[in-house]
Amino acid sequence: MSESDTLPISRYKNEILSLISDNDVSIIIGETGSGKSTLLPIFLYEESLANRKNELFKHRNRVIAITQPRRIAAISLAEYASSLLRSSVGDIVGYSVRFKTLISKNTRIKYLTDGMLIRECVTTKKNLFKSYSVIVIDEAHERSVRTDFLLGLLKMELNKKERIEDKFKIIIMSATFQYNDFVDFFKSNLKDEYNGKKLNNQLKIGIYKVPGRQFPVKINYLKEPEVDYLEAIVSTILTIHFLKPEGDILVFLPGQDDILQLYEKLNNLKKEIDKFYEKEGELSLYIGKTRIDNINRIKIHIQCLYASMPTEEQTKVFEKLPDNYRKVILSTNISETSVTLPNIVYVIDSGLEKLKYFKSNASIDALILNKISKASSIQRAGRAGRLKPGEVYRIYTKQNYNELLVSQTPEILRTSLSETLLELIYILDNYSRFNNKMDYNKEFETDSSLKEASVKKIMNFPFMSYPNRESIIATLKFLYRLEALDIKGNITELGVKLTMLPVTPVLGKLICCSIEFSCTSEVITLVSMLSAECYFDCSIEVERSRKRLRNNDINNNSQSSLSSSYRTYIKSNMIKYGDHVGLIEIYNKWDSLVITEKYKFCTEVGISNINMLRAKSIRNQLVQLTYNIFNIKTIDSCILKNNLDTVHNVNKDINTSNSLSNNILKSKAIIDETSKDDKWNPLLMCLTKSFWQNSAKLDHNNKQYITEISRQIVNTHPSSSISQLKNKPKWVIFNDVVQTNKTYIKILSPINHLWLAEYCSKWFISHSNN
């Protein structure tokens, strides 16, 4: 019997295929680990080979798509499905994630993130999803903003299909039994854009529940609430490790910071445990006030798992350890459903998670610590007991559990909508039924009822959960100020270009503006570093950690010293030019090193070498996209040429419009007026023009900043070079606003206020005294 034959879903193959054949939309419920994510696509593929008479598989070139909310899931599932078919990845089974695609003309099963399928819709003028016979939405219960958007597009397009050869099947797969929302969504009628009346649709919907193979799982609760949940988790890990039989431990923690903090604690304890094991005879110890006798001698191996980890690091959690080792995996909620971890017997649930909430009125991303929902609690418990009876240790009381919400707020109701709404407006403007560009008389910048045409268009789109009107209006204002939309709410030529770039709209605007300022090479480097989350931390605590690392390095050599001095050089340049320039210089230095020296450099600077490799891959793709989208022959660099000559002559190298040529002349004038010998000015001016909505001015106490758009009082984040300065710059541009215990602006660069008046004159007026 093969491994796949032992998975629960294999016993119900015929029933599931029959359900899919008879319905437009099939909802498959099955726990993580039931095999639905890998075997169902294979069932469909094999059926397409065996049953050509089925209209669904009449067209041989159509593909089976399986969407995933996360990169790691799309890649790991494609690899596993390929192994089951005894094929290499990229042949029969392939994958497509942001900045990485591995498919071929032979590919018939394609795993991809939901965002990548939406991007395909953006680049398709009509007949969306025409390449697919079946589209599987996996992990739909997570209700990510991209999944909700995709479900709306699927419903809209499936209702439009009239010819049988154009139709496709939708399969919704969920690990929870809360499926009524999906049934209600696909049963509800679409609204006609022109008159608001409902359009009759008769989608056939089928439901199938795949029984699990769960072994008994014992749930343990705290008797009393714990003040320090991390200490409680450490104690629980040690108790399990010393007293319980073999089996790996999965620990659910709220976020990356908690994981790294616990990882350091456990690593220190591991050293003591290893020394302890060197003793002969029976072993005893105290955990707290409790004496534990006859403890086992299983060795402990600690691993981390969170979304921002490089994919190569994430996949290490699947590697098998030697006998007599127990794996302890410290994870965020990424392990609830997206991945199936083998050999988990014990689960420790903190009962907490960190969720990002976007405050549209202040443009603030607040990372808030939340209690999980009952649905999440059940999902976490389900990780145990797959191979043998398991145990769950909930670091909260039974009463705490009873008070949990049934499910969390869908992401679309609490996240920034700028990327989603820009893509939506572009798709709808190309979509025959919704292509109704209505004019209105009021300029929304001065009227609270702004952009009625676009608001109506968006509100008539079939979302499972509708964003509130205020959030939509705030997002449309942002896109208008970004010049991605015009005053009537129609997408502009710039907005179309932004949808073609696989980055956020504001980073896309930065790339577009870089052509004007002849700093495209540096901007693409910067965007790549930001996209790969290659951040440099200037905080004093990090400096101390780096110093301890150097002092503890018995193999300290000249290269380490060089890296150390280069870290100092980066900081000094950041203090002068800002964090954005520092990221560019980090990349340039890293890229100049030979492979053997890259890792040493990254260790000293404090950035993952794997993240840097990803930044390089992203950069290569963005360079090619920039060539294609903007029809240019060369990628200009502001540090390879004399700035004034570059800005003055850029229109000779690029086919520029009159307005762009005028802006180039203005750029030259501003450079002349501000700083004639500063090579980074073109980049900083480009940042100003693109990020002006993220500008802030120093307050009268010269300690905090006030953001220009939302008038929020904010602090410089400790990781920024600006926070190290006694005399802070009067004006800055920032990347993000985040809220923890305080409201911070992150990744800052100083700017000249004259640039705001010159490049953002529609929004700023220059006064002689300011």
Q: 603-613 pLDDT, tens per residue?
A: 888 888 888 99
Lowest mean pLDDT among 220-234, 489-503, 577-591, 653-667: 653-667
Residue % of the chain over a pLDDT of 70: 79
Phi, psi of 280 (to 5 degrees): -95, 160
Q: Which residue has the higher pLDDT, 109 or 458?
A: 109
Cβ proximity of 19 and 173 under 8 Å: no
| Among 357, 355, 362, 361, CA closest to 469 | 361
How far from 367 is each of 252, 295, 371, 740, CA to CA, in Å? 17, 41, 13, 6
Specify the DSSP class assigned to residue 191.
E
- Cα 507 off chain centre by: 15
**Using one digit for the tens of pLDDT, what is the confidence trace for 175-214?**
776 788 999 999 887 665 434 455 556 789 999 998 876 6
Return mean pLDDT, the chain: 82
CB 168 within 8 A of CB 135: yes
Between CA 685 and CA 498 the distance in angstroms is 20
Q: Please state which architecture CATH assigns to domain 4-209.
A: 3-Layer(aba) Sandwich (3.40)
**The pLDDT of residue 704 is above 90:** yes
Position 428 pLDDT exceeds 80: yes
Q: Centre a 10 Å sphere on the Cβ of residue 367 and count the other Cβ atoms it contains.
A: 14
Token representation of residue 15: 């029933």
Distance set, CA 524 to CA 197, 330, 574, 636 (Å): 46, 34, 18, 10
The pLDDT of residue 273 is 77
The interaxial angle of helices 493-500 and 609-630, nearest 10 deg, is: 140
% of the chain residues with pLDDT over 90: 46
Strand-pairing partners, residue 135, are: 65, 170
**What is residue 103's predicted lDDT score, i.e. its pLDDT?**
96
The predicted structure's pLDDT at residue 643: 42
Query: Any idea where the domains of the chain sit in the sequence?
Result: 4-209, 217-411, 418-500, 544-607
pLDDT-derived band of residue 565, with 50, 70 and 90 as boundaries? low
Tokens, residue 238 = 């040690």
Tell which residue, 300, 365, 363, 444, has the closest CA to residue 694.
363
What pLDDT score was predicted for residue 412?
Answer: 93
- SS3 of 570, please? helix
- pLDDT for the residue numbered 48: 83
pLDDT band at 445 (very low <50, low <70, confident <90, very high): very low
Residue 513 confidence (pLDDT) above 90? yes
- Phi and psi at residue 137, to the nearest 5°: -100, 105
User: 351 in helix, strand or coil?
Assistant: coil
pLDDT of residue 580: 96
Per-residue pLDDT, 366: 78
Count the residues in the chain: 770
Retrieve residue 404's tokens: 């949990």
For residues 11-38, give the mean pLDDT.
90
For 184-198, 246-260, 430-444, 457-471, which range has the lowest pLDDT when averaged over its residues?
430-444
User: What's the pLDDT at 543?
Assistant: 54
The pLDDT, as a whole number, for residue 12 is: 93
Closest by Cα among 67, 201, 52, 53 to 134: 67
Q: Is residue 555's pLDDT more than 80? A: no
* Stretch among 299-308, 682-691, 751-760 having the lowest mean pLDDT: 299-308
Tell me the pLDDT band of 742, cut-offs 50, 70 and 90: confident
Per-residue pLDDT band for 108 (boundaries 50, 70, 90) equals very high
pLDDT at 574 over 70: yes
Strands 364-371, 352-359: parallel, antiparallel or unpaired by DSSP?
antiparallel
- Please give the Cα distance from 537 to 224 (Å, whole number): 39
Say yes or no to pLDDT of 310 above 50. Answer: yes
Return d(Cα 415, Cα 125) in angstroms, integer: 27
CA–CA distance, 730 with 708 (Å, rounded to integer): 13
Tens of pLDDT, residue by residue over 643-663, are 444 333 333 333 333 443 444
CB 102: neighbour CB atoms within 10 A?
Answer: 20
> Does position 421 have pLDDT exceeding 80, yes or no?
yes
Whole-number pLDDT of residue 51: 64
Cα 454 to its chain centre, rounded Å, is 27
528 pLDDT higher than 90: yes
The answer, yes or no, to whether residue 317 has pLDDT greater than 80, is yes
Q: Decide if 4-209 and 217-411 have a common fold.
A: yes
Q: How far is Cα 258 from Cα 262, in angstroms, rounded to an integer? A: 6
Contacts with 594 (C-beta within 8 Å, 6 or more apart), sequence order: none
> According to the model, what pLDDT value does residue 192 have?
52
Q: Say how far residue 660 (Cα) sits from the centre of its chain.
A: 34
- Tell whether the model's pLDDT for residue 350 goes beyond 60: yes
The answer to whether 307 and 334 have CB atoms below 8 angstroms apart is: yes
Round to whole Å and give the CA distance between 448 and 432.
Answer: 29
**What are the structure tokens assigned to 518, written together?**
């002849």
Q: Which residue has the higher pLDDT, 313 or 665?
A: 313
* CA atoms 491, 494, 495, 499: torsion sign: positive
42, 89, 175 from 81: Cα distances, Å: 8, 9, 19
Domain 217-411 class, CATH top level: alpha beta
* CB-based contact 421:358 (threshold 8 Å): no
pLDDT(165) > 80: no
Rg of the chain (C-alpha set): 28
pLDDT at 689: 96
pLDDT, average across residues 716-727: 90
Is 90 exceeded by the pLDDT of residue 470? no
Split at pLDDT 50, 70, 90, the class of 22 is very high
* Least confident segment among 33-42, 212-221, 610-619: 212-221
